[in-house]
Amino acid sequence: MSNPHQVIDQKKPDRRIVVAALGVTQILAWGSTFYLLGVLANEIARNTGWSYDWVTSGVSVGLLMAGVVSPRVGRAISKWGGRLTLAVSAVLLAAGLLLLGSSQSIAWYLVAWLLLGAGMGSGLTDAAFSTLGSIYGENARGPITSLTLFAGFASTFCWPLSAYLIEHLGWRGACFIYAAIQIGVALPILLLALPRGFSIPPPTADDEGARSHASLASGELPIFALLAVALTLSAAILSMVGIHLLPLLQARGLELSAAVGLGAIVGPSQVGARILEMLIGRHYHPIWTMISSAVLVAAGTALLFAAFPTYSAAIVLYGAGNGLGSVARGTLALALFGSSRYPVLMGRLALPILMSMALSPFLAAIAFQAGGANLTLGLITFLGAANVLLVGLLWILCRRRLTAAEID
Across residues 64-84, what is the average pLDDT? Answer: 88
Across residues 283-311, what is the average pLDDT? Answer: 88
Residue 205 near residue 15 (C-beta atoms within 8 A): no
**With bands split at pLDDT 50, 70 and 90, how would you rate the model's confidence at 202?**
very low
User: Quick one: pLDDT at residue 205?
Assistant: 45
Pick the CATH number of 216-402 from 3.40.50.10440, 2.60.40.1930, 3.30.750.200, 1.20.1250.20: 1.20.1250.20
User: Quick one: pLDDT at residue 209?
Assistant: 46
Taking domain 15-200, whether its CATH number is 1.10.3720.10 is answered by no
Highest-confidence segment of 4-13, 191-200, 294-303:
294-303
The domain spans of the chain are: 15-200, 216-402
What percent of the chain lies above the pLDDT cut of 90? 36
Highest-confidence segment of 8-12, 172-176, 216-220:
172-176
Q: Which of 31, 38, 29 is nearest to 263 (CA)?
A: 38
Cα–Cα dist 30/152, whole Å: 10
Q: Is residue 396's pLDDT more than 80?
A: yes
Q: Is residue 3's pLDDT more than 50?
A: no
Tell me the backbone φ, ψ of residue 7, rounded to 5 degrees.
Answer: -85, 120
Cα–Cα dist 102/44, whole Å: 12
Q: pLDDT (tens digit, 9 = 90+) per residue, 328-342?
A: 888 888 888 887 888
Q: pLDDT (tens digit, 9 = 90+) per residue, 270-283?
A: 888 888 888 887 78
Shared fold status for 15-200 and 216-402: yes
What's the whole-model pTM score? Answer: 0.79
Across residues 232-241, what is the average pLDDT? Answer: 90
Across residues 362-376, what is the average pLDDT? Answer: 84
